Chain A
Amino acid sequence: MAALIILAIIVFAACTADLFWDYQKDACNINIPARLQKPSAQHWLGTDEMGRDMLCRIVYGARASLTVGLAATTFALLIGGALGAICGYYGGKLDNIIMRCTDVLLAIPGLLLAIAIMSAFKPNIFYISLALGISYISKFTRIVRSAVLTVREQEYIEAAKAIGAKDHTIILKHLLMNCMAPIFVQYALAIGSRILSVSTLSYIGMGIQAPTPDWGNMLSGARAYIRGNAYLVLGPGIALLLTISAFNLIGDGLRDALDPRLKK
């Protein structure tokens, strides 16, 4: 519940940021005279090395992180889920080929694969989501496949086949609908993991580029100024920690709720 409240606050703040700040003026424009100001009544979390309001950038940073996290995970789920469902339902050679391909993708560490893909594209939100989504497809393929395999032999699937239901109807309406639990759990955990990855990419200079606010590039920009200005790294770091923890807790909570054995 706490995780849901934290997440609701972050999402609400990200959605209503335009009511309080002017994106271009407050979050992007450089204002050197106001640089490195400590937290005050005017700037609740201080200003960064370019004189921009930290709170404003953290709130706008949530937009970028949440957008990439959701887009990358949804992309991975759609492609990985479709492949997993096909593998689990049809089996045979097709299953073997797809699973060997996922083995290959799993052998490359996800972040390194995303970095390699990003080196071939312009670092914008679309390509970052694509790169982070591609590096997660194989995980969803495996999870959906194993979930489908457990449901495939159920009698109601056999009954659906017997009454002449088409394959895509069986997969979409009967198989996937009955193995949503592990998919939901993994979806929540994957969003947290993708947000962590996008911030890492931005931190090493391969993700969202300044002046667009992102928690990773804010931490990267603050590196040279942390002596005596700890507030520069506290704000974005805590925002990241809370957001990722919220998704992880929601994932864990869903897992416990959907599989009571794990409560032990």
Chain B
Amino acid sequence: MLKYSFKRILYMIPVTIAVIFIVYLIMYLTPGDPVALLLGADATPELIVETRAKLGISDPFFVQFGRYLWNLLHGDFGMSWYTGNPVSERLFAAIPYTVKLSLGAMLVALIISVPFGVIAAVKRNTIADYAISVFAMIGVSAPTFWVGTMLILLFALEWRVLPSAFDGTWKSYLLPTITQGFNMLASIVRTQRSSMLEVLSSDYIRTARAKGVSHFSATYKHALRNAVLPSITVAGLDFSLLVGGSVAIETVFAIPGVGRLMIDNIKLHDTPTVIGCMVFVSVMVSIINLLVDILYGLIDPRIKAQYLKGNNNDTRKNKKKEGKPGTANMEKVPEE
């Protein structure tokens, strides 16, 4: 297990460097002269040359990229071309909002979808099951920015119970987290339903029922405990999508998070800030995926046992191979 974790961490290094390279290359190719934007139309040629040299944008691409990578290794994301402040400062000011939003959304999604998944499995092929399926389908199909707008319309403008724009209070986190969580519902409900169905038809549940354990206890004590792990895994994997997909939500609710910082600065041609945001989000996604993989192995004793036997090298793949019908084997429609 330790060897596998170490290998995964080592493997992350070249992937991260390649991600930074791609992001840097795209932003390098973006048209528009930042110096002209910074200095305005009446700048003297001398000042333009001096500023270009100061920003280091006259150097060849690989020199610039090498310098950026070296600085990044020292925790330096560069200076914002627009504000003149360190990008890391702006980024670290925005990160807590995005992380709180994503964690809140995951919590909302788990609180709603695990019971829904259980109900859908227990009341299989009934109206309740179909209604939950439709609800989950709407969740995955409705654009988050539209759901957010509708919630603002109802809760903020019509009923006036919650603020329409973000003001840092817990109340202003409610609508964005519900919107984001609603979008995550479908995958968790489906996973929970299929894993619950599988567990409910297993021998040990039949044995428990034969021994006289009540239906409630067999379902909610014995089965649920064993069926909830895949849902947590899916939620963990979706967490990376949440971080990446926060752009629209942060725009709708005016949350000063990483997504909004990125969009605002793309429009301002502030390349260092945009690269900083992209690199941060991509590295976060890689780290979360790695953690989910490792944690999965640690939590599930069956997976851990497989490692001890030394016959495998990918936890998620193995879990999927165990044959969960439905979402565990499904390719998810990414919510972005």
Partner of B247, one of A115, A193, A241: A115
Q: How far is the CA of A110 from the CA of B240 in the complex (A)?
A: 11
Nearest neighbor of B243 in chain A, beta-carbon distance: A109
Asked if B152 is at the interface (CB within 8 A of a chain A CB), the reply is yes
**CB proximity of A81 to chain B, nearest CB, Å:** 14
Contact between A139 and B331 (Cβ–Cβ < 8 Å)? Answer: yes
Asked if B263 is at the interface (CB within 8 A of a chain A CB), the reply is yes
Closest 8 CB pairs of A and B: A109-B244, A111-B336, A237-B146, A245-B141, A244-B141, A104-B18, A120-B30, A193-B333
Q: List 12 A-B contacts (CB under 8 A).
A: A103-B15, A107-B16, A108-B22, A112-B247, A116-B27, A120-B31, A139-B334, A193-B333, A199-B143, A203-B143, A203-B145, A226-B153
Contact between A205 and B267 (Cβ–Cβ < 8 Å)? Answer: yes
Q: How far is the CA of A109 from the CA of B336 in the complex (A)?
A: 7
**CB proximity of B285 to chain A, nearest CB, Å:** 6
**CB proximity of A182 to chain B, nearest CB, Å:** 8
Contact between B333 and A206 (Cβ–Cβ < 8 Å)? Answer: no
Contact between A237 and B140 (Cβ–Cβ < 8 Å)? Answer: no
Asked if B245 is at the interface (CB within 8 A of a chain A CB), the reply is yes
Nearest neighbor of B124 in chain A, beta-carbon distance: A264
Q: How far is the CA of A199 from the CA of B143 in the complex (A)?
A: 8
Asked if A59 is at the interface (CB within 8 A of a chain B CB), the reply is no
Q: Given A110-B334, A237-B143, A204–B149 Cβ distance below 8 Å? A: no
Q: How far is the CA of A248 from the CA of B266 in the complex (A)?
A: 32
**CB proximity of A229 to chain B, nearest CB, Å:** 10
Partner of B19, one of A108, A249, A264: A108
Residues of B contacting A157 with CB < 8 Å?
Answer: none
Q: Given A107-B286, A192-B141, A241–B146 Cβ distance below 8 Å? A: yes
Asked if A166 is at the interface (CB within 8 A of a chain B CB), the reply is no
Contact between B22 and A186 (Cβ–Cβ < 8 Å)? Answer: no
Asked if B150 is at the interface (CB within 8 A of a chain A CB), the reply is yes
**CB proximity of A214 to chain B, nearest CB, Å:** 12
Q: Is the interface of A mostly helix, strand, loop or mixed?
A: helix
**CB proximity of A71 to chain B, nearest CB, Å:** 18
Nearest neighbor of B259 in chain A, beta-carbon distance: A112
- Chain A: how many interface residues by the 8 Å CB criterion? 53
Asked if A227 is at the interface (CB within 8 A of a chain B CB), the reply is yes
Asked if B292 is at the interface (CB within 8 A of a chain A CB), the reply is no
Interface residues of B in 130-163 (CB under 8 A from A): 137-138, 140-146, 149-150, 152-153, 157
Residues of B contacting A230 with CB < 8 Å?
Answer: 153
Contact between A240 and B262 (Cβ–Cβ < 8 Å)? Answer: no
Contact between A197 and B138 (Cβ–Cβ < 8 Å)? Answer: no
Q: How far is the CA of A209 from the CA of B330 in the complex (A)?
A: 35
Contact between A119 and B274 (Cβ–Cβ < 8 Å)? Answer: yes
Interface string of A177-193 (1 = CB under 8 A from B): 00000100110011011
Residues of B contacting A248 with CB < 8 Å?
Answer: 137, 140-141, 333
Contact between B241 and A200 (Cβ–Cβ < 8 Å)? Answer: no
Of listed A104, A190, A199, residue having the most chain B CB within 10 A: A104
Interface string of B150-181 (1 = CB under 8 A from A): 10110001000000000000000000000000
Residues of B contacting A219 with CB < 8 Å?
Answer: 143, 145-146, 149
Contact between B197 and A264 (Cβ–Cβ < 8 Å)? Answer: yes
